[in-house]
Structure 1
Amino acid sequence: MRIAIFGGSFDPIHIGHKAIVKIALNELDIDKLIVVPTYLNPFKRSFYLKPQTRLKLLKKVFNDFEKVDVSNYEVNKEALSYSFDTVNYLKKLYSATKIYFILGEDNLRDLDKWYKIEELKTLVEFVIVTRNGFKSKKTEKFKILDINIDISSSLLRENMNIDYIPVEIKNDILNIRKGKSF
């Protein structure tokens, strides 16, 4: 089975994330795309939305995508997770013969700091998602998904613009912002 792994904080999920999944499904030769929300990104100290909330929101957004699974692997660990461990877990779970690892261009600058990065490079083919404001010569070595939607989760946390939230979860995000549980 040929899979793509799209991991991230998704804190909060936005239309750029959904666009990445759609383009990956069209441009990569894969049988399945696995979206993997982190419990806590190794480069961060906290989260905006609770991990279980992000997991539920992702499942709601990608519910109707036939070739997409949302994995609870990292969230259920309730601890810091490393991509190396997640890739090995998903490789075994899906009996994967080919693994693409989708990564935002802004994450390239810290790629050499990732846990067991040299071993990870032997397991996956990195696919870089281009993003406005993060041009890097490092992308020349990788397969590219050209999205260039000018939004990020960190920008949304600072200034929530509901226009950038997928339609499937707009009401949920509005309710969360009003203090109602999801």
Structure 2
Amino acid sequence: MFKKWKPILITGLLVTLTACGQEAEAPGDESQENQEGAEEMNGWQLEVQAVQENEDLKVELQLTNNTDDTQTLEFSSSQAYELVMTDDADEEVYRFSEGMMFTMAIMEEEIEKGDSRTYEESIPLTHIEEGNYTLQAEIAGKTEDNSELPKTTIDVEITK
């Protein structure tokens, strides 16, 4: 009896093992590789990563305090960051703050030495054509001593 089932079991096992080694991609799931960049200035580091997921560009900003002390950032509104995407002709195709309303209140955020803050945004790509773009990211706050925070610019490729 086992002799009849042995080839079927072995074939099933091989098919299962082969399938486990392959990553399936869901229909319509067109993720691309991360596009990233980093800039350091005055003891602060700003890292930006962007990845296209279908009709959205997922952007992550990470601000790290590499100074020797705990620092307090001051924001003049509830806007923590700005993102601006431009095309090859340097025409603006997206600005995070456009059409947004932010609470007009002074806000402070304390970041200890070595700690980071992460901000995430999803840029809709429905009205942005396929092509190469530049994405500039900056933190909207300022430091206690008014030293400049880094801005980071990365190149992104949008595919449809």
Normalised by the length of structure 1, the TM-score is 0.20
Q: Which has the higher strand share?
A: 2
Comparing both structures, which one devotes a greater share of its residues to helix? 1
Bigger CA radius of gyration: 2
TM-score, scaled relative to structure 2:
0.22
